[in-house]
Structure 1
Amino acid sequence: MNDDALIYLVAGEMSGDLLGARLVQAIRHISGRNLRFAGVGGAAMAAAGVPSLFPIRDLSVMGLAEVLPRLPRILGRLSQCARDIVARQPAIVVTIDSPGFCFRLVRKLRDKCPNTKFIHYVAPQVWAWKPERAAKVAQLFDGLMCLLPFEPPYFTAHGLRAAFVGHPAVNLHETLLPEGREAFFEKYDLSLTNPPAILSLLFGSREGEINRLGPPIYEAAYRILREWPNLAVLVPTVPHLWARLKAIIGSDQRFIPVDSEDRFQAFALSQAAIATSGTVGLELAMLGVPHVVAYRFSAPTFWLAKRMVKVPHMHLVNLLLNERVVPEFLQNDANGRNLAGAALDLLINRNGVAEREREGFARAYRMLLGEGGGTPAEQAASFVMGYL
């Protein structure tokens, strides 16, 4: 293979953008070759030297009701991406998560890129619903990189090369600088001499999540502030979503917006957090932050999920340990009263609940390290390099 081979990456949402950026950096570090990169991603991949073919926000939707109104644009971007890949004929295409988009893309490309190897990063959750999908994944891809230790056997049983490369959240502590606490307190005007207790609110990275869960999370924080008026409430978010959050929070100055690049420092400084579903729950766990999670789906999405999803827990830590370590509140139970009660218990460590969460997080961390040595990004990079 030429030293300047092209690797094309496709990420459909912000979490995939971060995975893609770390993967590119690790490949450059490991390979020692003048490899080229192109694809679809966000700000993190762009900073890593992979300019996006189009804005990633065009693909960042979740749930049936959210996808349908934007389907024409998504299909247009699918065709645009396919045309670009066919024109470039890359050595490897790495699709990252977002199976609804990525799998359709690979189906379009298989016959048109006969010399290209197709690798998917983040295994679809066949263990949660429709295990028979594993066979279809095996037909589409040449390789699969799994983030959870129990996932590879679902796919190797169908002849697909699949490997557990570790979960990227295990290395989050490395993003924290020794002087980070002092710099953070100064930037966000928090007292170092009399530091407040901190609660973080994670409203989600999509407008749909904010619309559904913003009001109950705000209500929960408001209830907690009535009992704990000196509490600092941090709201890590991205700039284009702050206007929507302001519509919920209003002019309440007790809610402190935190820049996206400071979010992990905010997590690490928090005594507790209230979070929406998704990757953020595992990120909080890997940084040792006790938290509760809320899940609200549109009616059509929830109706479909109830009939198809076959797992006892929603949070990844709860799934890994097969016990309810992190409190989960679903649909109507994800209300201000319930979220406030559970979060307040964590803040004051009532009956040792915060310590029990931290003990569970430590067990989950050990399970997510990966098996190949090095960071998860380095393990993933080695897997990809095996196809060059």
Structure 2
Amino acid sequence: MKKIFILTGEPSGDRLASKVISQLKNSRSDIEYLSVGGEHLKTLGIKSIYDLKEVTYLGFTKVLMNIFKIKSKINETVKEILKFKPDILFSVDSPDFTLRVAKEVKKKDPSIKTIHFVAPQVWVWREHRVKQLKSFLDHILLLFPFEKKYFDKEDIQSTFVGHPLLEDHSKSKVDISQIIKDNKKIFSIFPGSRLSEINVLIPILFEFVKKMNEKYKDLFFVFHSTSEHVQLMQNLLLKEELKNCGAIGDEKIKSHILKSSMFAVAKSGTISLEICNAKIPSIIIYKMGIINFFIVKMLVKVKFANIINIAANEEVIPELLQSKCNPTNIYNTVDKLLSDKHAMEKQITKTQGIISNFKTEKSSEIASSVLLNHLL
């Protein structure tokens, strides 16, 4: 029986991996799996060797503070992978963790094929990493077409597969009447999947919602969380006694609510692509520790945080980062857009043109076919 070890480092990677592996399971039933994964891989019946939270660190300072734990976890993970003896190590995103593991695994057992999904953002910073990847990666799967030139230049096998989260195969209908009451319009809020992000952004977002409630009486604010953090979110909402608010963690319901939303405020990240794909106008927010911010500012080569804006080389979606990420600025930016239907329509039109370049007919199928080819 063939074996695949799936290696992720955070919830978004777990979700991406599950899309590909779900497709692979439909094609082949004779493959054994083991992982470092989260709730999405778990729903596919794939065991994780430890809790994903143990390797999810955000920012340079967090990494530095936990450097010995991370090194220990890398060593433990390498040991477990070698013990499992997979035909393929399928690593997904979180390059500072997953690629370090892949490098060590390849060094210790060159017979294990190493395939990585979600290229390190070398077009943003640290382009020199591309040369290093050649020594231990057999294949890399790309989300965006413009990434391919970086890997072709170094003769690294790569395939543009597109973004699996832009696929939409959902046919099921979900009753959201118990969540959204009084026929209110849905306003979606995405504060992030990591606890460190939630802790920073939630106080800001709560104050923003209070401001919105003063003017907009017909809105219901839905905080999108993970199943792991949804109870925390609900408790925080109860404590704050916010009106017209709710929190959800179920993926199917979240997807349906997003598609039914009239606007979204989201933490910078993959979710922005899903919002654009659903044709929902939005703004992007983010805030990190001051030390992390200055390090990033010194290293990055691009003007924007959001992939849509980076691809367009202009601010198609408003970005409120660091000091600009405060309740008043968020309210003013949202209020201005909600008052200008033409501006919202223009944003949607532009984003549709951009994300069309990130789509393929069957992203998960293309990615799974690469894995299958390496199993032959």
Shift of residue 244, structure 1, vs aligned partner: 4.6
Closer/same/farther in 2, CA of residues 222 and 164 from structure 1, 3 Å limit: same
Task: Pick one of 82, 88, 91 that aligns with 2:78.
Answer: 82
Closer/same/farther in 2, CA of residues 294 and 176 from structure 1, 3 Å limit: farther
5+ residue gaps, structure 2: none
**2:352 is aligned with what amino acid?**
A
- The whole-number CA distance in structure 1 between the counterparts of 2:15 and 2:276 is 18
Write out aligned runs for 1:46-85 (5 A).
Answer: 46-85=42-81
Alignment-derived partner of residue 191 in structure 2: 203
Deviations 1:29-79 (A, max 9, x none): 23x451111111011101112110000111122101222333333333222
Alignment-derived partner of residue 211 in structure 2: 223
* Matched-pair contact (CA < 8 Å) for 2:213–2:243: no
Task: Pick one of 111, 115, 132 that aligns with 2:107.
Answer: 111
**1:26 is aligned with what amino acid?**
Q
Deviations 1:321-365 (A, max 9, x none): 2221100011000111111122223334x1512101110221123
Deviations 1:208-265 (A, max 9, x none): 1112222222222211111012311111212442455444762224211123322111
Alignment-derived partner of residue 97 in structure 1: 93
* Matched-pair contact (CA < 8 Å) for 2:230–2:248: no
Write out aligned runs for 1:340-379 (5 A).
Answer: 340-348=331-339, 350=340, 352-370=342-360, 374-379=361-366
| CA-based RMSD | 1.7
Write out aligned runs for 1:1-388 (5 A).
Answer: 4-30=1-27, 32=28, 34-171=30-167, 173-175=168-170, 177=172, 179-180=173-174, 183-185=175-177, 187-191=178-182, 195-242=183-230, 244-245=232-233, 246-247=235-236, 250-261=240-251, 262-348=253-339, 350=340, 352-370=342-360, 374-388=361-375
Shift of residue 80, structure 1, vs aligned partner: 1.7
- The whole-number CA distance in structure 2 between the counterparts of 1:11 and 1:240 is 17
Secondary structure of residue in 2 paired with 1:80 = helix
- The whole-number CA distance in structure 2 between the counterparts of 1:360 and 1:190 is 32
**2:13 is aligned with what amino acid?**
G
**1:273 is aligned with what amino acid?**
A
How many residue pairs are counted as aligned between the two chains?
A: 372
Shift of residue 140, structure 1, vs aligned partner: 2.1
**2:264 is aligned with what amino acid?**
A
- The whole-number CA distance in structure 2 between the counterparts of 1:326 and 1:112 is 45
- The whole-number CA distance in structure 2 between the counterparts of 1:289 and 1:169 is 15
Closer/same/farther in 2, CA of residues 175 and 207 from structure 1, 3 Å limit: same
**2:267 is aligned with what amino acid?**
T
* Matched-pair contact (CA < 8 Å) for 2:186–2:221: yes
Query: % of aligned pairs identical?
Result: 25
Shift of residue 190, structure 1, vs aligned partner: 1.6
Secondary structure of residue in 2 paired with 1:111 = helix
- The whole-number CA distance in structure 1 between the counterparts of 2:343 and 2:203 is 26
- The whole-number CA distance in structure 2 between the counterparts of 1:47 and 1:240 is 14
* Matched-pair contact (CA < 8 Å) for 2:9–2:94: yes
* Matched-pair contact (CA < 8 Å) for 1:296–1:334: yes
- The whole-number CA distance in structure 1 between the counterparts of 2:126 and 2:108 is 29
- The whole-number CA distance in structure 2 between the counterparts of 1:97 and 1:361 is 24
- The whole-number CA distance in structure 1 between the counterparts of 2:171 and 2:223 is 18
- The whole-number CA distance in structure 2 between the counterparts of 1:61 and 1:175 is 32
- The whole-number CA distance in structure 1 between the counterparts of 2:146 and 2:315 is 19
Deviations 1:156-182 (A, max 9, x none): 2111101110111221x43363x33xx
- The whole-number CA distance in structure 2 between the counterparts of 1:210 and 1:39 is 26
- The whole-number CA distance in structure 1 between the counterparts of 2:22 and 2:136 is 26
Secondary structure of residue in 2 paired with 1:139 = coil
Task: Between 236-245 and 315-324, report the one with greater CA deviation.
Answer: 236-245
- The whole-number CA distance in structure 1 between the counterparts of 2:49 and 2:57 is 18
Deviations 1:107-149 (A, max 9, x none): 2212221211101100000000121211112222010001011
- The whole-number CA distance in structure 1 between the counterparts of 2:218 and 2:278 is 24
Task: Between 257-266 and 333-342, report the one with greater CA deviation.
Answer: 257-266
Secondary structure of residue in 2 paired with 1:15 = helix
**1:175 is aligned with what amino acid?**
S
